[in-house]
Amino acid sequence: MYLLDTDTLIYSLKGHQNVVDNLRIYADAPKAISVISYGELVFGAEKSEQIANNLAKVHRLREVFPVIDLSCSIMDTFGNIKAEVERKGKTVDDFDLLIGATALTLGYCVVSNNEKHFKMISGLKMVNWTNPVDFSQTW
C-alpha cells in the first residue's frame, strides 16, 4: 500500500512524466492519501489564481484515493517520532511527521520527493516516483 505525499500528488496533476509512469506501473497497487495532504492541497487551491478549477481537481483526488483520517494510534506514533527526531537534534515539519506517522502506523510506503524529511523517520518505507523509471526492474 502506498501513501501518496502532497508533492507527488501535485507532480501527478502537473503531468510530471516519471510520476505519471509510476502511477501507471503501480496502477493496481492500493494507494491512499493522508487527510494532511488533502488539507495542504485544499490550501494550495484556495490561494491559487484558478480556485474553482484547482479545488475540483483536489476533490477528484479525494474520489480516486481513500483519504486516511488521523487516529489516536497515529498520534501516538507521531509523538514518538517527533521526540526521537528531536533527541537527535533535528527537526521535521509536523505535517511531514503526521504523514510519516500515518504510513508507519498502517504499514504503508510513503511516496514523496521529500527524501530529506522522511528519511529521518526510523523504520519508514519510502520511494521517490520523481526519479526516472527503470522499466527493466518493473516486469
d(CA 68, CA 74): 10
* pTM, 2 dp: 0.90
Is residue 139 one of the residues assigned to a domain? no
Crossing angle (nearest 10°) for helices 35-46 and 6-13: 50
Tally of domains within the chain:
1
Is residue 68 one of the residues assigned to a domain? yes
Is residue 138 one of the residues assigned to a domain? no
Q: What is the pLDDT along the chain (139 residues), one digit of tens a residue?
A: 999 999 999 999 999 999 999 999 999 999 999 999 999 999 999 999 999 999 999 999 999 999 999 999 999 999 999 999 999 999 889 999 999 999 999 999 999 999 988 998 999 999 999 988 765 554 4
- Give the structural domain span for 125: 2-133
CATH code for the domain in which residue 52 is found: 3.40.50.1010
Is residue 63 one of the residues assigned to a domain? yes
Is residue 85 one of the residues assigned to a domain? yes
Question: Which ranges in 1-129 belong to alpha helices (H)?
Answer: 6-13, 17-25, 35-46, 51-64, 72-87, 94-106, 115-118
